A and B are shown apart, each in its own frame.
Chain A
Amino acid sequence: MLVNVERRAQGSRTMAYMSPVLAMVLTLFTGALLFWIQEQNPLQGLYTFFILPVADLYGLSELGVKAAPILLCAAGLAVCFRANVWNIGAEGQLLMGALFGSWVALQFLESTSGWAMPLVLLSGALGGMCWAAIPAILKNHFNTNEILTTIMLNYVALNLLLFGVHGPLKDPDGFNFPESALFSEATTLPVLIEGYRLHLGALLALLAVVAVWVVLSRTFIGFQIRVLGMDSSAAHYAGFREKKLVLLVLLFCGAMAGLAGVSEVTGPIGQLVPTVSPGYGYSAIIVAFLGRLHPVGIVLASLLMALVYMGSEMGQIQMGLPLALGGLFQGVLLFYLLACDFLIMYRIRWQGFASNVATNEA
């Protein structure tokens, strides 16, 4: 059968929404194939990965726990990506948020003040902002490429965190384990439902998504961000200040990622450890694109990504599969998504019955 690829006159709206779905279906197929190659039952593998983790209420609440930091980062990243600022540094910003927040939290070990928690959260956000300010300033004043600077700063942030947890922030009574002291009650995020680990961070994440949606669709600054991303010469013509906007979106993303970091250490973890994040900041990039930079899409995508994290843990426990399978699933998903996005601007025609296929365009 002869296949012909054609450019569409206009991007297809249907495909823009269908592409993530198609990518997910293809990922499931690939996953099944992987299990089969590993001589596992594909159906059981998929069940263990994607259904077993959320089979009970506790699993569902854990899904929220995992999704919260991803969602916060993705909300910030969506704003950056809308402005065409390719911030890959949410991971580093998250770690800096965790580091700053932990340092402040450790000052309140004996305190019961109600101000401690807001202060800790704020300092976490501030940590992420400081970290995001570096690539912003470099980009605005030295015209550096933010993709490179933000990636490199991720590793710097990780090493700073390791230094903190092995050095000044290490628990003096911790038998020399690289961990901080456990945070006090006053600096631990309250859980939403008694008996589960789902904490206030999840609520903050949802709030952030709503805020992002309102800002982008209702405010003039959001409009400016979108124009800058879609057509920078139009933004210059209209007199929007590119440097200000670049700084703004990076600072916002830094704040969100920092908040994610500090919510992790003061929430489910409860202390500073070397492994604050299993790569939430990176997953958030996939989430932002899988969710089409759209609030509802991002929420759904973050849940899916959280499920992949839980699934890979479950796969390790139940079937003895390597934990890295989760990362592989994420990678495959992004790969398929980018491939399927091709169909937004192009259509495939099978020659022979060419005249009818093209008409069902959205």
Chain B
Amino acid sequence: MTHNSSNPHPRVSLRNISKRFPGVLANDQVNLDISPGEIHALLGENGAGKSTLMKMIYGVMMPDEGRIAWDGLPVEIKEPAAARKLGIGMVFQHFSLFETLTVAENIALCLDAHEARDMTALSARIRDVSLKYSMALEPDRLVHTLSIGERQRVEIVRCLIQDIRLLILDEPTSVLTPQEVEGLFATLRQLAAEGCSILFISHKLNEVKALCHNATILRGGRVTGQCVPGNETAQGIARMMVGDDTPVTATHERTRGGEEYLKICNLSLTSRDPFGTSLKDINLGVRAGEIVGIAGVAGNGQEELLAALSGETLETHREAIRLPHGYIAHMYPGERRNEGLAFVPEERLGRGAVPDMSLEENGLLTAAGAGLVKNGWVNWRKTREFAEQIVSQFNVKCAGIHAPAKSLSGGNLQKFIMGREILQTPTLLIASHPTWGVDIGAAVAIHKELIKLRNSGAAILLVSEDLDELFEITDRICALCHGRLSPVADTASVSLQQVGSWMAGHFDVDEDVQGG
């Protein structure tokens, strides 16, 4: 399918690209063509070689074998600057922004000196671009005050502000609300219509079906299929991605739970960050044996709420958070763990796990109370056994428990962290974005474990931006907007639109909803 016939050559054409790392063949004879104006999906599980392929197009690394042609002419893209010169822009999954600089300063950093010098003109240009593609951005805001979704906009605008001819997006929708995803897609379609090629990396198949003209599927570094996503079922594409032996979906029955276990009562918290979100009068109960989901766009108070629940922020008003056997709002995280709390944070590396420590040691991180420490001495034998149990029971793919946490893929590390928390048999699990950036197989496995934990009688509170996930596994659902919590409804009886409008702040807190 060509969308722009003025140039007979594809915008970019990869031929027999191979790339080796010590011990792995990350890309094996990969071929890929993208026409001008085409939105092309690159699909594959984590570790399939998508990132490597993109990095070679963007000049972060060079292929060991194979050729790249740009508009029909052979090119060697030796560094990102060369890629940018050709008109290639890339939005990484993990943003490369300096948090202490403003939006405009961050964008100026990747421009030529003469463009970057006039900051007022640049700010105006940023406003123009963000307006044209309807991506609201304030050039003078400091990046550390932006939500993940807003940071992504900075990354995209940073690409658009240059003369862009191929835009590469790595898992761009994993951080957006349905409405925001629609907005992003509108932007991308507008760009494609203007002749820009787009390489869209994702594993959300419905989005790929909705947006992309063509798809290339990678598995184990090789191209295993090419298709027009519109003509395939999501199931069929998923099969091509994971092979035949992995489950790609699961359905879970819903429960109503038992006794109320966690009670959040009039929790108000002023954020210490001047650009953070203050919590206003949050009331929420979570019963034993049910999963309650909190939807919402990042930056609407999720971090603050989670910090208050985990104990990383202490609440002086101790009645605000209650368990059946007492108030916990004034307790330190360690004391809350002793009360049966477990917590899966949003950031896996650098919070949920220490990057340079082995899995063995990372198992000990939160599990000291589970008999691994006696009189201040670490029982390393038990710690090893605990880590081995996590790895085998949760199917964590790793080089062994002595492998450093940073050597694991995102999905495997998340399975490890999830396993560490679940194996401590918590009575209350609070999980934040449990499957963010995790591949299908791992996500299904994580959901299964959450349901199993629920069925064993634990109360689970899930904070996620992924509405599909929330609708799949939660029993009751609500949304957080501007630090206020919407009414809570049974997931089975509430519509996606209703939750979407709660996420946008359209609710009255006193509104009475059944099952709440």
Contact = CB atoms under 8 A, between A and B. Distances in A.
A361 B361 CA distance: 25
A52 to B, nearest CB: 42
B376 A227 contact: no
A358 B373 CA distance: 42
A223 B376 contact: no
B217 interface: no
Interface residues of B, number: 34
Given A219-B378, A237-B351, A227 B22 contact: no
B378 A230 contact: no
Interface string B341-364: 001010100111111110001001
A239 B376 contact: no
Contact of B337 (A219, A231, A233, A239): A239
Interface string B300-335: 000000000011100000000000000000001111
B330 to A, nearest CB: 14
A1 B355 CA distance: 36
B332 A239 contact: yes
A10 interface: yes
A240 B365 CA distance: 9
Interface of B is mostly: mixed
A241 B354 CA distance: 16
B407 interface: yes
Contacts of A361: 22
B350 A239 contact: no
B214 interface: no
A238 B365 contact: yes
Interface residues of A, number: 22
A237 B357 contact: no
A233 B21 contact: no
A356 interface: no
Interface in A333-355: none
Interface string A228-245: 001101101111110000
A221 interface: yes
A234 B365 contact: yes
Given A218-B377, A233-B350, A238 B22 contact: no
Given A223-B361, A239-B332, A241-B332, A234 B378 contact: no
B205 interface: no
Contact of B312 (A218, A226, A237): A237
Contacts of B345: 237
A9 B356 CA distance: 13
A238 B312 CA distance: 9
A318 B364 CA distance: 56
Nearest to B352: A237
A219 B380 CA distance: 10
Contact of A220 (B22, B354, B376): B376
Contacts of A238: 333-334, 365-366
Interface of B: 21-22, 310-312, 332-337, 343, 345, 347, 350-357, 361, 364-366, 368, 373, 376-378, 380, 404, 407
